[in-house]
A = this chain, B = another copy of it.
Amino acid sequence: MTIKGNLIVGQSGGPTTVINGSLAGVIAEAKNHEKIQKIYGMQHGIEGLLKKNFLDLTDCSLNIINGLRVTPASALGGCRYKVKDDDYSQILEILKEKNIRYFFYIGGNDSMDTCNKISILAEKEGYEMQVLGIPKTIDNDLPITDHCPGFGSAARFTAISTASAGKDLEAMKSFDDVAINEIMGRHAGWLAAASVLAKNDFKDAPHLVYLPERAFSVEKFLEDVKSIHKELGYVFVSIGEGIKNSSGEFIGENQAETVVDAFGHKAIALGNGPASYLSKTIKENLGLQARYSRCGTIQRSFSECVSNIDYEEAYLVGVTAVKHAAEGKTGLMITLERTSNDPYKCCAGAVSLSKVANVEHFVPKEYINQQGNFVTQEFFTYCLPLAGKNIPKYVRLV
């Protein structure tokens, strides 16, 4: 059904804590198939392929494969190169030249589009090659799949860091009033929403959650903060980095600030992110002390906080992609299909690449409360298993 030839695998977009688990799955499973000869890695995704920057992974040891599973961020290098229409014929030429018959691309929406176009072109030109997309994104915004590898571990980090820093704020409530945590997700708010997962009590953080899916009103936000502060004496707020006002402008982006450069020249710079902006706004308008945190890429890479579910599933989608390819399937992205929620059970499936390419899956209405300042119980039910076992439960003396 398939022909003998070489395999290539690439990693695209921003890294995750477990993206190398999918790479490990591809390499490990490829070794089980005689028709797969050489195993190549593209360095820095499709851009590396265009530059013919390959790594030969054929003789990768079990030690390296296991090591990859606990090494965060894309070991082959990530990529944000937007493939041009002209590039595709060149990509196919290079693949033919290397006798690549098995093509795997680990990535998000854009990468699935790239994958889809390569698959279509290969078929059109009668070049036999199995092309499979392997899902990866902390943003959890790929459609059809129940969730995306990478998201669960980032969700776990966000949940535990919020609960922990919430205890810190509560302990210091006579001195600090408000803490704002800025969480990744430029368009989709899945990760900011996941900050609730270790909350067990109204006193626990977060008290307010704002996602990019809802227009953000600074006035309404200040009212919300004031109200919780009155009740508890402290307020912990989770915000998606991509929150926008009703005109679609990012919050804090047009806040001009004076910067003094190395030579003492004053300059105007824009945008420190919404958390920095909102912490100032709180101080100015409510007279409350406000801290902010912004873990940046730490939230998508922190290797001591991995969801056991995510760890297993990232490997599973890599393995499954190779199995499907070996069976002659092509033009697919591997999906995760939840078959039971309690106990959590999930298996790997597949969907046509054309159905996922460039489609973004946002947090749906039923997961956001009516006021747009928290999530619903349905979201908890959906998300909690993904963050893995042993989500901490802290004790409380007061």
Contacts and interface: CB of A to CB of B under 8 A. Distances in A.
A47 to B, nearest CB: 7
Nearest to A270: B283
B262 A73 contact: no
A71 B163 CA distance: 10
B284 A267 contact: yes
B289 A269 contact: yes
Given A71-B395, A283-B270, A301 B164 contact: yes
Contacts of A292: 294, 296
- Give chain A's interface secondary structure class: mixed
A120 interface: no
A44 B234 CA distance: 14
A21 to B, nearest CB: 12
Given A298-B293, A305-B305, A259 B279 contact: no
Contact of A304 (B277, B392, B394): B392
Interface residues of A, number: 88
A79 B174 CA distance: 8
A3 interface: no
Given A171-B74, A398-B43, A261 B276 contact: no
A304 B276 CA distance: 26
A219 B262 contact: yes
Interface string A79-101: 11000000000000000000000
A47 B173 CA distance: 13
B303 A15 contact: no
Interface in A158-197: 160-161, 163-165, 167-176, 179, 181
Nearest to A48: B174
Contacts of A11: 171
12 contacts: A64-B397, A70-B392, A71-B396, A72-B394, A74-B172, A75-B396, A76-B397, A160-B303, A163-B303, A164-B298, A165-B302, A254-B258
Given A15-B168, A44-B174, A259-B284, 4 more contacts: A67-B395, A78-B172, A164-B303, A165-B297
